[in-house]
Amino acid sequence: MDPVTVSSKYQVVIPRQIREQFNLKPGNKIIFIPYDHTLRVVIVPPIEQAMGMFEGIDTDPQREKADRE
């Protein structure tokens, strides 16, 4: 794994090998998480991938009785 350089605009280029391995495309979102003197990069999945994530959960909103009347 080759190191990358932070530019004067605080940008980095994700190496091709990593982009291909994780199927990163322009517009994908990532977050940086500081952890124990390191920096973790986490890919934020698109919201479409979250559909069905909590199978069996009751999605019917339960409102207060006063709100229903």
Q: Is residue 30 part of a domain?
A: yes
Residue 44 lies in a domain: yes
Residue 7 covered by a domain: no
Q: Which domain holds residue 31?
A: 25-53
Total domains in the fold of the chain: 1
Contact in structure between 22 and 43 (CB atoms under 8 Å): yes
Q: Give 15-62 as a 3 state SS string.
A: CHHHHHHCCCCCCCEEEEEEECCEEEEEEECCHHHHCCCCCCCCCCCC
**pTM recorded for the entire structure:** 0.62
Instruction: Output the pLDDT for position 34.
Output: 96
Per-residue pLDDT in tens (0 to 9) along the chain, 69 residues = 789 999 999 999 999 999 999 999 999 999 999 999 999 999 998 877 766 667 777 777 777 766 656
CA torsion 25-6-31-22 (nearest 10°) is 40
pLDDT, position 68 = 59
Q: So what's the pLDDT on residue 60?
A: 73
31, 42 in Cβ contact below 8 A?
A: yes
Asked whether residue 15 is domain-assigned, the answer is no
Q: Is residue 12 part of a domain?
A: no
